[in-house]
Structure 1
């Protein structure tokens, strides 16, 4: 195997890391927005704007990647992301900030499908689990960068300076994609290979539903760990940001381990079911211990940060493999749209739950969708990896 797939994997991972900072980094500015006078519920609604933007355009970007290729889609999306992030930094009202965040999310949505397609296209089946685990570590890695920098910079300087960080990150990723990314070969387009993969069975639909259910505890942990430590446990923003950054980095390595496990057992679905069991148990424990001894609670938060993200790479790989090279962009767009739709709802509802029920109940209730996912994982309908 040549070095090209690994180089493209590295650049794709970097691009997704940058996109993740733009798409999902806004919640780490909830304390800064709260300091400006917004309530936690209002700030939670505002920071959902990038995720809402992502949700609106993922399928369209997937279609674009299916038809014009991954490299062009990545460069177009990252270029627009840079412009929108700069606009957010210079917004003079919360309304304008929300609009720019919406556009930034809509633009960065080009990266998940295109970068996933390019990795699946360059790696053989027995290496895809590991490769996609590495690529999927970009999402928590991007959150780790955002959680370590955005709240600290906002506290030390101002909100504008903090908002320029994702713009610079996306600009660097754009340059890397332009230099190193090459579209993978995908053969001749025939009626058979271009058949709609949603016809004939419910495998892809069930994977989408399971992913939606499992993304709820993931986004509860991602969105509210920082504000829990700052407002609920009295931590300084910089210290809380460092803790959340460590948790997200651990989650990134958890995705790699899950991908390697799926290659070893030649299955994507069985490990997803195991992860669903573990995520449900951990969120229940976090709900019970959220107000208890701080270092025990933080340790459980670290474990939850690993387990609640571990299924993402497996589901992403399974969708791309089942959909094939002429449909994977759209199928991955549907996969991500459904997840981001759920996450867009999690932020405002979670903010209301924290306001009226507290952090413990909010964390504990997030175990319910993980429990519901267990029975829906389509283990028996999975095809042999080939």
Structure 2
């Protein structure tokens, strides 16, 4: 059984802190790389209105198309993580972003639910490299006393990607159609592929085991701690994807906002999400724990989701817009905490694979959420969908491992 020290949230750093300004450049590159990937992967919900018009899809089928990139992610995350553990981060980042760019070019050349879904899935599968490798870049360059803040900044890539998509995709789609919006994310991916190939430097690592020596022991072998962190963070993805994927549709269908105005407001919510991730990471550094703040934030997300469900089902009010944006920000706040905790517990020899498993759980939830939530809204309304999100957040509190906090 792992010792209590091993289960703590801030174990000694096995990699010397390299210092200097290079680590901040690596943090910026890792964040920008995943922002470019997520502008496509998680920005597709902002194209639901144009997808419904141009491809003749109902809400449930549009949700399936939106889920295709995360399905691709699920199929390759662990493999990309293992590749990062073996070959280093720079090669994985550059090759994955390059392949994602090629798949997006393919999406520009096809039409229809099946072919678009295939291209989107291939782009997501290639873009999974960024999720597996850019987190390792950050964690390798920062010591434990700054890791929460660094990973909080790094995890702003999700809301920043969604913010970029919210600001750019609705007006591009309105002016140039679906192809105009997709061309934007294609160019963004290509630029970041080139920058990572040229500028990313792999962090220093501990010496590998000598030939015939003992291999690093799997962190999954003796305790369920990592599995519980994976499970709780996957549960917390459900409210995040509920509001992220259908917040704009709620504003247009229920509150009768225009798609462009709704996209601009959702961009504000994603900006708030970025601030919340940084704040949560700094909080975890200050209190010496990743998981105690995670439980508190899960409670807050559950209560806000219940309040939004009440507004949607029984008390229609403009106040629902304020709650929606607050939930958009707060529901994203726990990602960096769970990722930092997983990487610290796994250690440098297993961090890529452990982060791959972490991403699989989160993206499995992310791939299920859009079609399921779309079907729930179609059958029972937004109130039921937001109530389900509340249930997932509150369940996560019990799953977070208290001993490791």
Q: Which TM bucket (shorter chain)?
A: over 0.9
Quick check: 1:342 aligned with 2:361?
no
**The residue matched to 2:399 in structure 1 has which SS?**
coil
Other-structure match for 1:106: 125
- TM-superposed CA distance for 1:289, in Å, is 1.4
| 8 A Cα contact 1:136 1:312, kept in partner | yes
Other-structure match for 1:46: 65
Other-structure match for 1:364: 387
Quick check: 1:271 aligned with 2:293?
yes
Quick check: 1:229 aligned with 2:248?
no
Counterpart-to-counterpart distance in 1, 2:111 and 2:223: 50
Counterpart-to-counterpart distance in 2, 1:315 and 1:277: 15
Deviations 1:252-271 (A, max 9, x none): 11000000000000000101
Pick which of 237-246 and 292-301 moved more: 292-301
Counterpart-to-counterpart distance in 2, 1:255 and 1:379: 21
1:90 pairs, out of 109, 114, 123, with 109
2:204 pairs, out of 177, 181, 185, with 185
- TM-superposed CA distance for 1:338, in Å, is 0.7
Pick which of 261-270 and 303-312 moved more: 303-312
**The residue matched to 1:375 in structure 2 has which SS?**
helix
Quick check: 1:59 aligned with 2:82?
no
Other-structure match for 2:53: 35
* Aligned length, in residue pairs: 382
Quick check: 1:133 aligned with 2:169?
no
Other-structure match for 1:71: 90
Counterpart-to-counterpart distance in 2, 1:317 and 1:279: 20
**The residue matched to 1:194 in structure 2 has which SS?**
coil
- So what's the TM-score if we normalise by structure 2? 0.92
Other-structure match for 2:303: 281
1:195 pairs, out of 217, 239, 242, with 217
Quick check: 1:331 aligned with 2:324?
no
1:241 pairs, out of 245, 263, 271, with 263
Counterpart-to-counterpart distance in 2, 1:294 and 1:242: 20
Q: Which runs of 5+ in 1 are unaligned?
A: none
Other-structure match for 2:9: none
Quick check: 1:206 aligned with 2:224?
no
Counterpart-to-counterpart distance in 2, 1:135 and 1:230: 31
Counterpart-to-counterpart distance in 1, 2:203 and 2:81: 16
| 8 A Cα contact 1:155 1:237, kept in partner | no
- So what's the TM-score if we normalise by structure 1? 0.96
| 8 A Cα contact 2:291 2:404, kept in partner | no
Counterpart-to-counterpart distance in 2, 1:309 and 1:337: 17
CA RMSD of aligned residues (A): 1.3
Q: Which runs of 5+ in 2 are unaligned?
A: 1-18
Pick which of 93-102 and 134-143 moved more: 93-102
